[in-house]
Amino acid sequence: MIEVYIDGASAGDPGPSGAGVFIKDGAGQVERYSIPLGLMSNHEAEYRALLAALQICIDKHYSVVSFRTDSKLVDEAIEKQYVKNKLFQPLLEEALLLIEKLDLFFIKWIPSNQNKTADELARKAIRSIDKQK
């Protein structure tokens, strides 16, 4: 099973944002992605990190995946297939459509201290935006 750690981060609310995606396969191989996202809220960055990671998994034909996030908002939205904030409804719908393309999908909330690599990758993406200015 493929383990996927995701995190979104923003330098401000809204502010320059980035997504971090850290993927581990059963053989110990790892992939790291730092994805600049532009200006958005931290919560939107968390959803964008989920969407980016789902698309990476689909593109790489990873069909059995277990996601880890330190965002309770994203974890609960996926588990309940519902969001309170209607601004996030299109992001949730897009995520659910991508999840349907996978054979098996799990998502689990983890504490931030267990998601440090994805967090570092998200912050690296923000720094790359700052360097482009």
Q: What is the pLDDT of residue 13?
A: 85
Q: Please answer whether residues 72 and 115 qualify as being in contact, where contact means their C-beta atoms are separated by less than 8 angstroms.
A: no
Mean pLDDT, all residues of the chain: 95
Q: Quick one: which H or E segment has residue 125?
A: helix 116-132
| pLDDT of res. 64 | 97
For 65-112, the pLDDT digits (tens) are 999 999 999 999 999 999 999 999 999 999 999 999 999 999 999 999
Beta strands in the chain (DSSP E): 2-10, 15-24, 30-40, 64-69, 104-109
* Whole-angstrom distance, CA of residue 69 vs CA of residue 118: 9
Please list, in sequence order, all residues whose beta carbon lies within 8 angstroms of the beta carbon of residue 35, skipping any fewer than 6 positions away: 18, 19, 20, 21, 48, 49, 52, 125
14 cis-preceded (ω within 30 degrees of 0) = yes
Q: For 107-130, write each residue's pLDDT tens digit.
A: 999 999 999 999 999 999 999 876
**Statement: residue 131 has pLDDT above 70:** no
What structural domains does the chain harbor? 2-132 (3.30.420.10)
pLDDT tens digits along 37-76: 999 999 999 999 999 999 999 999 999 999 999 999 999 9
Closest among 51, 37, 63 to 95, alpha carbons compared: 51
Contacts of 94 (CB under 8 A, 6+ apart): 51
